[in-house]
Chain A
Amino acid sequence: MDSDGKSAAPDYQQICKGKKRSFLWRQTCTLWKGRDHFLLVTNNLLVERYQRFYFRDIQGISVLPRKSWPYQLAGLLLFGTLPMAPVVFLFRDDVPESARYGFMIVAGVIFLLFFILFLVMLAKGRTCLCRFHTAVQTEEIGAINRLHVAEQHLPGIRNFIEAAQLDGQPQNQGGETAVP
């Protein structure tokens, strides 16, 4: 605490950002690196929650690739093409031309929306479940929810933890977060 009794806001460096599933909507998670701990910030629009993981306390990290990702992709394609199903009935003689074109436009727009979502999800890559293990807790790190994010940032995260636990002091204070 400083002279006026208020603690100065600690300096943090953002490591990565991701989403975490919740009951109503997806929560935004960001992982920050502090002087001697990681700070996981979970934001659900109304409340920001903070969880601290001190370098000296982290016993392990596990990364579990989710199996649901290919099914999510397939589901998006399926829901995109479902509105196209009645198209076979449109070529009957008793269907007016305007209805035919109207239906094709609506179905096309729906398909396009789902296809864009499909491409976005494909580009973001496979999802995973990353957890920090300490002696008393196992916590999901929503900020690392893609395999390529884990691949990019885990070496740096491991370096901070190992350096703090082996030397008793964290290395690269205020330095780069990603260490090759």
Chain B
Amino acid sequence: MTGTPAQRIPCGKCRQRLPPELYNPQDFSTMTACPACGALQQVYSFPALTRNLDPIRTGERIVDESEASCFNHPGKRAEKSCDQCGRFICGLCEVELEGQCLCPDCLSSGRTKGKLTSLTDERILYDNIALMLATLPILTISLTLFGAPAALYVCIRHWNTPLGLMKSRRRWRFVVAAILATLQICAWLIFFISIFKEVTDG
């Protein structure tokens, strides 16, 4: 494997493209030095490095008026239909995801609504936020007056919000946060009631 400069892996330190003869050492203890900066490292290459990329699909133009056209591009021939909405789409609009053929609109709506987990790139951990709101203000005591209701609100509002993508994530943090927040609110209520009684009694 020789490869063009673009088909070479860069050095982990100086980013210079490494020569292919340094790739794929026989065993893990063998480190190779970058010819430019001398940094010892290991580099493994895969067939994708030298593979030619698939040609970009642009969609074929309609030559016969009896042919079905793309929903988004009336001048292009429909090649498939969207598995979600059934619209005819050309090769340019077609997106394959999770074994389905989707149109750009369904892909976009699936992403914004969080229906396509394979497009999820971020999730807010509301359970951790609730737990922090319920525990950290305890250090100052006075801030629990605001932290506890906020923690309780987050617990109720986001109980059904999907947490992490992994199934291992449970909702026990919500439960702990809700219990702590409730206890703190009760403590504040007792405190205010006792002050109120003291004022009214004397």
Interface residues of A (CB under 8 A from B): 1, 5-10, 12, 32, 39, 41, 43, 45-52, 56-65, 129, 131, 133-135, 138, 150-151, 154, 158, 161-162, 165-166
- Roughly how many angstroms separate A62 CA and B13 CA in the complex, as a whole number? 10
User: What 9 A-B pairs are tightest by C-beta distance, nearest first?
Assistant: A64-B12, A60-B9, A59-B49, A7-B117, A64-B41, A165-B47, A63-B42, A61-B44, A151-B28
Is B46 in contact with chain A by the CB < 8 A criterion? yes
Is B31 in contact with chain A by the CB < 8 A criterion? yes
Contact (Cβ within 8 A) A135 B46? no
Given A1-B100, A10-B117, A158-B44, are A41 and B49 neighbors across the interface (CB < 8 Å)?
Answer: no
- Roughly how many angstroms separate A165 CA and B166 CA in the complex, as a whole number? 26
Q: Which residue of B lies closest to A10 (CB)?
A: B117
- Roughly how many angstroms separate A5 CA and B106 CA in the complex, as a whole number? 11
Is B187 in contact with chain A by the CB < 8 A criterion? no
What are 27 A-B pairs with beta-carbon distances under 8 A? A7-B116, A7-B118, A8-B117, A9-B117, A9-B165, A12-B166, A43-B164, A45-B132, A47-B125, A48-B122, A48-B165, A50-B120, A58-B46, A59-B46, A60-B43, A61-B44, A62-B41, A62-B43, A64-B39, A131-B12, A133-B10, A135-B53, A138-B10, A151-B28, A154-B28, A158-B44, A162-B47
Contact (Cβ within 8 A) A60 B115? no
Among B12, B53, B115, chain A packs the most CB atoms within 10 A around the CB of B12
- Roughly how many angstroms separate A129 CA and B100 CA in the complex, as a whole number? 36
A71 CB, min distance to chain B CBs, angstroms: 16
A42 CB, min distance to chain B CBs, angstroms: 10
Given A7-B98, A50-B165, A133-B9, are A63 and B41 neighbors across the interface (CB < 8 Å)?
Answer: yes
Tell me which residues across on chain A come within 8 A of B167, comparing CB atoms: 9
Q: Which residue of B lies closest to A148 (CB)?
A: B28
Tier of interface size on chain B: 35 or more
- Roughly how many angstroms separate A12 CA and B164 CA in the complex, as a whole number? 13
Tell me which residues across on chain B come within 8 A of A6, comparing CB atoms: 115
Is B110 in contact with chain A by the CB < 8 A criterion? yes
Interface string of B1-43 (1 = CB under 8 A from A): 0000001011111000000000100001001000000011111
- Roughly how many angstroms separate A91 CA and B126 CA in the complex, as a whole number? 56
B95 CB, min distance to chain A CBs, angstroms: 14
Contact (Cβ within 8 A) A41 B48? no
14 further contact pairs, Cβ within 8 A, besides A46-B128, A48-B122, A60-B9: A7-B110, A10-B118, A12-B166, A41-B166, A47-B123, A48-B164, A49-B121, A50-B122, A57-B48, A59-B46, A63-B41, A64-B39, A64-B40, A129-B12
Tell me which residues across on chain A come within 8 A of B150, comparing CB atoms: none
Given A7-B115, A9-B165, A63-B41, are A50 and B121 neighbors across the interface (CB < 8 Å)?
Answer: yes
Is B58 in contact with chain A by the CB < 8 A criterion? no
Is B139 in contact with chain A by the CB < 8 A criterion? no
- Roughly how many angstroms separate A32 CA and B117 CA in the complex, as a whole number? 15
Contact (Cβ within 8 A) A58 B39? no
Is B129 in contact with chain A by the CB < 8 A criterion? yes
B171 CB, min distance to chain A CBs, angstroms: 15
Tell me which residues across on chain A come within 8 A of B117, comparing CB atoms: 7-10
